């Protein structure tokens, strides 16, 4: 554990291009991965990677954001910023998981949903909203792992899990620090200041009740020893999944509802009026 890193340093680690991403976790932790492509409405958005695979022999559905590592890949995957087609592909996979009674495992790593003209024209907001409602009601286990950047609604769209895990140097926030500074202070260059007040580190989120467990990273960050990270993530997913597999479908949906129903309770008070 690197207890001494500042939020700004963790944001940098979370964005490190060498950091393991969804594709790496899939090849390290799963076998027989079969990728599903396309939303069956408009197109295929490769910034979301999803499919069916075996997890320790058990069929599961895997969905995650994909950034790519080289500039060429970044461009192909739009730097991990999905379009509505990506979210609608994710919805299709979630519904398929429900049909075939497969647990869903998601990996979250995105600066946010793509804020472009075409994405707006095809209903980015609706696409994200529908992911939230579908995930919330699934009667199969859902485990979400925040592996890098958890940016805004585009991250949460894959994050409504029975169990939400987070790598030690991953970050998860209402908006990117740059966007936050731009909105609140009209000055995107104050993003470092934003990092300090946003409570976006894993330790902050554990304290706020937003995540369930922090997965430790090696000294220097996940990219310095990916093998150790794969083992730690595998252990954490296995430990979270085991008790969930014993619950009935309705109990799983109920647990997930209650969990998110309670989020932000500490943020509410009764006015004197």
Binding site for other proteins (CB under 8 A): 113-117, 119-126, 128-130, 132-134, 136-137, 152-153, 156-157, 159-160, 172-175, 179-180, 183-184, 197-200, 204-205, 208, 210, 256-257, 260-261, 263-273
CB of 10 or CB of 122, closer to other proteins: 122
CB of 245 or CB of 262, closer to other proteins: 262
- Report d(CA 135, CA 53) in Å as an integer: 19
CB of 219 or CB of 271, closer to other proteins: 271
Rounded to the nearest whole angstrom, what is the least distance from the CB of residue 22 to other proteins in the complex? 21
CB of 1 or CB of 208, closer to other proteins: 208
Rounded to the nearest whole angstrom, what is the least distance from the CB of residue 181 to other proteins in the complex? 10
CA angle at 169 for the pair 164 and 174, rounded to the nearest 5°: 60
CB 196 within 8 A of CB 8: yes
Tell how far CA 12 is from the center of its chain: 17
Rounded to the nearest whole angstrom, what is the least distance from the CB of residue 201 to other proteins in the complex? 11
CB of 246 or CB of 272, closer to other proteins: 272
What residues contact residue 4 under an 8 Å CB cut-off, 6+ apart? none
For residue 40, what are the CA distances in angstroms to 45, 88, 95, 257?
A: 11, 8, 13, 29
CB of 193 or CB of 234, closer to other proteins: 193
Rounded to the nearest whole angstrom, what is the least distance from the CB of residue 208 to other proteins in the complex? 6
Rounded to the nearest whole angstrom, what is the least distance from the CB of residue 253 to other proteins in the complex? 9
Burial (0-12, 13-18, 19+ Cβ within 10 Å), 226 = middle
Relative orientation angle of helices 22-29 and 226-245, to the nearest 10 degrees: 70
Helix or strand holding residue 142 (H, E): strand 142-151
CB 202 within 8 A of CB 167: yes
Rounded to the nearest whole angstrom, what is the least distance from the CB of residue 52 to other proteins in the complex? 24
């Amino acid at each position: 554990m690197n207890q001494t890193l500042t939020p700004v340093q963790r944001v940098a680690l979370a964005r490190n291009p060498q950091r393991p991403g969804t594709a790496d976790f899939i090849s390290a932790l799963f076998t027989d991965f079969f990728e599903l492509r396309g939303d069956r409405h408009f197109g295929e958005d490769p910034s979301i990677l999803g499919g069916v695979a075996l997890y320790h022999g058990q069929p599961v559905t895997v969905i995650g954001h994909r950034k790519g590592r080289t500039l060429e890949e970044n461009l192909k995957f739009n730097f991990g910023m999905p379009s509505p087609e990506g979210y609608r592909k994710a919805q299709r996979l979630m519904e398929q998981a429900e049909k075939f009674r497969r647990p869903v495992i998601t990996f979250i790593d995105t600066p946010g949903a793509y804020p472009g003209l075409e994405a707006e024209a095809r209903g980015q907001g609706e696409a994200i909203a529908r992911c939230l409602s579908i995930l919330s009601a699934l009667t199969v286990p859902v485990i979400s792992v925040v592996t890098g950047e958890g940016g805004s609604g585009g991250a949460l769209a894959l994050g409504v899990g029975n169990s939400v895990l987070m790598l030690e140097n991953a970050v998860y926030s209402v908006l990117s620090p740059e966007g936050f500074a731009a909105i609140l202070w009209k000055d995107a260059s104050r993003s470092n200041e934003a990092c300090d007040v946003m409570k976006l580190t894993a330790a902050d989120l554990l304290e706020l009740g937003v995540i369930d467990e922090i997965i430790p990273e090696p000294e220097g960050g996940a990219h310095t020893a990916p093998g150790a990270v794969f083992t730690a993530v595998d252990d954490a997913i296995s430990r979270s999944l085991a008790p969930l597999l014993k619950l009935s479908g309705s109990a799983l949906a109920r647990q997930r509802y209650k969990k998110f129903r309670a989020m932000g309770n500490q943020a509410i008070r009764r006015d004197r009026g």
